[in-house]
Structure 1
Amino acid sequence: MNIKSCGAVVSLKKWSESVGAKGVLNIAWVNVSNIPLDKRCEKNIAYVGSLVGVTLDIDKSTVNRPESVRIKLGCRDA
């Protein structure tokens, strides 16, 4: 497939398990503290999680809790 606006060529292939994953993604719920209340929004919380791994979910009931926020992280070594 050619993209005319920039001249790039894109090749698409059907996904298969033999692609060569480098590791298993471990999933864990993590409590994150010390995020200032005035800076707490889903975007900032997801950014904090991305510093460790992949932010998969945010427990919305804990976003305004003063102690900590719960996030579901995917990482290589939980």
Structure 2
Amino acid sequence: MEISLDIEFHSYIKLAEMARPIAYLTRKESISSCHRLHSPHLSDEENKAIYGKCNNFWGHGHNYTVEVTVRGPVDSAVLVGVHV
């Protein structure tokens, strides 16, 4: 359990300390992409010499993993399943 400190600036300063559990929700996804580096101003041989495997006619691929975490206080009034 974490302690949060909320500060609101209005015509006065309000400090509120609340002992509430903090939830972390993480979603991890994998994505793939491809590209081809090729200049129409160069010959096929020059493109291959300059760009190497990135000049492959069918493209050159990369795989990435993206992980996003959100953090927030647990609201005991709303304890339901959430589709993420």
Q: TM-score, normalised by structure 1?
A: 0.27
Q: TM-score, normalised by structure 2?
A: 0.26
Larger radius of gyration: 2
Higher helix share: 1
